[in-house]
Amino acid sequence: MENKNYGYIKINLSNLVAEKGISKNKLSHIAEMQRSQINQYCKGEVTRLDTAVLARICFALECRIEDLLEYVPANTDY
């Protein structure tokens, strides 16, 4: 199988937290998540996305999934 670069999914939680003016502590309380898990999402250190977690974050921040996740395509020609 050929090794291809398909791009990646960028998690924009850090930007959303700043835009909404909410602390990570408050977000973790509303979303019922551990602060360490919030930090992993903010730093983009999550390798497998959990749809239930994403739903809780969107609920807590009153945002859409498109605000939280962004597809960044690879810089290659097909």
pLDDT, one tens digit per residue, over 33-64 is 999 999 999 999 998 999 999 999 999 999 99
Question: What pTM was estimated for this model as a whole?
Answer: 0.85
pLDDT-based confidence at residue 3 (cuts at 50, 70, 90) = low
Fold designation for 8-71: 434 Repressor (Amino-terminal Domain) (1.10.260)
Of the candidates 16, 21, 6, the one whose C-alpha atom is nearest the C-alpha of residue 41 is 16
Residue 57, CA atoms < 13 Å, CB-side half-sphere: 27
Domain ranges in the chain? Answer: 8-71
